[in-house]
Structure 1
Amino acid sequence: MHETTPEVFLIARPSVDLEAMRAYLAAVGGDSWLELREADREELNDGELLAEFAGRMCYRSWEPGLNRNVTRIRTDQREYFANVLASAHGSVLEHANYSFAFRNVSRVFTHELIRHRAGSAFSQESLRYVRLADIGFRVAPALEPLREQVISIVEQLEEFQRDAAEQLDLDGEGLPFAVKKEITSALRRLAPIGLSTDILWTANVRTLRHVIEMRTAPGAEEELRLVFDAVAALMLAQAPSLFQDFERREDGAWVPQWRKV
């Protein structure tokens, strides 16, 4: 057994094809909006740009006059998103997706994470195929007074995995892969739910806002609070305008000014 600590890696984010976007805007007469955004900063934030593009398409609000009902537009992007958040126009946030690789999280964590199905995609290490020869495990803070007993139990379960694989001749020459898979799948039933695993999670910004709020709340599970505290900090740095209303409180909860966007 080896002790582990959860890690969070942001491995993918939106990527906008500026030339295709520019061609569309030329066709509808909204060129000036993209020119303004390119003049605003040296490097465009693709996640924020994509969400704003979606929002402005709804009202044809690239510039005054394109929609006769729109006589004034917000040119400041942060102010634009503040209005989107305050008006709960959250559907435009669903266009921007971010992918996180969670390393050494427990199956307790993944079982709770996959409940957030809407706006998410998941790919998890499969214990039907991956044999448990060396169990990674994190002792939760609440179990620290029993640390030695906890480690002893996990080490016994790990030893059983190795002994059972040997007794069942799992590495025997000529053993069909289908049999290996069946035995490996059966052995995982004798593994602790707290064992460390990896999962890839992709979520859109609307989902991210909801999950960050839910899973950093004081009543949330301890490991999820730990991991989503890191996710929240990453997203505030990655797309500050889309998470501008979030505040981290002293108890570690990330709370938005506007909920249910």
Structure 2
Amino acid sequence: MKRVEPQVRLISRPQLDYEAITDYLKEVGGESWLGRFDRGELDDHLNDPQNLAEFAGRLCYRSWEPGLNPNVTRVRTDQDAYLGNILSSLHGSVLEHVNFGFVLHNVSRVLTHELIRHRPGVAVSQESLRFVRLSDLPFWFPDWAQDDPELMERAEDMLQKMEEFQLWMADHFGLDDEGVKFAEKKHKTSFMRRFAPEGVATGLVWTANVRTLRHTLEARTAPGAEEEIRLLFHRIGETLRQEAPALFGDYTVEDGAWVPQWRKV
């Protein structure tokens, strides 16, 4: 048994093809928007998520410049102001084009059971304990639990016994013997996982679009949220605000709760 800490790593973000965007804008008369290339506002990969949201929004109203749409006589040229208007007007559909992918490591199955309740705009690939045989039981303890010596002694003793039972079963079933077929290993491994605690640490790739991320960030850092998922989404929120400040900069953090200025976008 080893103590672990939940970890968040951002592994994917939007990457735009600016040559294709240029071809499109020339065809529809949006060349003035291309001037932002010369000012260096569209060629930084860290801004691609924001650029994609802005591109999708402007396409909806043909608002690349005044006059292309006769109903549009003026346009916002500042990206922060433009995306702020997207949020305040609840035009959340354009945010669904912007996806971020995370590898969530050393998170419990307590957490993953709650996380998978958020389904729209999400993709999940989780470590399978039907295939992955447990040789140890990594476990996260919150600070308040670690401050209780008797609790920790009893908890670690119990986990140690559960871990030893996992190793005993593997030996008892002869899973490492020569010639054991993978189907048999999978069958017994699936049985063995039933004796692992729900708090055992695992991992998954979790990808979500910005519309979903905004809702989930608020819901899973709320004061009543489960403490591990609350800790995890605080770290996700910090990452997102750094990656796309114009899409997540309206949040204020109050006692760990991420509260947006614009809700239900």
TM-score, with normalisation over the residues of structure 2? 0.95
Please give the alpha-carbon distance, in whole angstroms, between the structure 2 residues aligned to 1:36 and 1:184: 56
CA separation of 1:48 and 1:142: change in aligned 2, threshold 3 A: same
Q: CA deviation at 1:138?
A: 1.1
Q: Is the 8 A contact 1:125 1:198 kept in 2?
A: yes
- Deviation beyond 4 Å, 4+ runs, structure 1: none
**Match for residue 243 of structure 2?**
238
Kindly provide the amino acid, as one letter, of the partner of residue 15 in structure 1: Q
**Match for residue 29 of structure 1?**
29
Please give the alpha-carbon distance, in whole angstroms, between the structure 2 residues aligned to 1:79 and 1:11: 28
TM-score, with normalisation over the residues of structure 1? 0.97
Kindly provide the amino acid, as one letter, of the partner of residue 74 in structure 2: R
* Partner SS for 2:205: strand
Q: CA deviation at 1:117?
A: 0.7
Kindly provide the amino acid, as one letter, of the partner of residue 4 in structure 2: T
- Structure 2 stretches lacking a partner, 5+ long: none
Q: CA deviation at 1:43?
A: 2.2
CA separation of 1:38 and 1:220: change in aligned 2, threshold 3 A: farther
- The total of aligned residue pairs comes to 260
Q: CA deviation at 1:37?
A: 5.3
* Partner SS for 2:245: coil
Please give the alpha-carbon distance, in whole angstroms, between the structure 2 residues aligned to 1:22 and 1:101: 33
Deviation string 1:106-150 (CA, Å, 9 cap, x unpaired) is 111111111111110001111011110111111234533211111
- Percent pairwise identity: 56
Please give the alpha-carbon distance, in whole angstroms, between the structure 1 residues aligned to 2:21 and 2:51: 10
**Match for residue 111 of structure 1?**
113
Please give the alpha-carbon distance, in whole angstroms, between the structure 2 residues aligned to 1:66 and 1:218: 47
Greater Cα offset, 140-149 or 57-66? 140-149
* Partner SS for 2:208: strand
Deviation string 1:35-69 (CA, Å, 9 cap, x unpaired) is 22551536251000001000001000000010000
Please give the alpha-carbon distance, in whole angstroms, between the structure 1 residues aligned to 2:191 and 2:245: 46
Question: Please, which of 129, 132, 135 is the counterpart of residue 130 of structure 1?
Answer: 132
Q: Is the 8 A contact 1:139 1:150 kept in 2?
A: no
* Partner SS for 1:241: helix
Kindly provide the amino acid, as one letter, of the partner of residue 227 in structure 1: L
Q: CA deviation at 1:24?
A: 0.6
Kindly provide the amino acid, as one letter, of the partner of residue 119 in structure 2: R
1:197 counterpart = 2:202: yes
Please give the alpha-carbon distance, in whole angstroms, between the structure 2 residues aligned to 1:224 and 1:34: 42
**Match for residue 177 of structure 1?**
182
Kindly provide the amino acid, as one letter, of the partner of residue 7 in structure 2: E
**Match for residue 55 of structure 1?**
57
1:7 counterpart = 2:7: yes
Please give the alpha-carbon distance, in whole angstroms, between the structure 2 residues aligned to 1:167 and 1:257: 58
**Match for residue 253 of structure 2?**
248
Please give the alpha-carbon distance, in whole angstroms, between the structure 2 residues aligned to 1:189 and 1:138: 19
Please give the alpha-carbon distance, in whole angstroms, between the structure 2 residues aligned to 1:4 and 1:43: 35
> What does residue range 71-220 of structure 1 map to in structure 2 within 5 Å?
71-144=73-146, 145=148, 146-220=151-225
* Partner SS for 1:170: coil
Q: CA deviation at 1:95?
A: 0.3
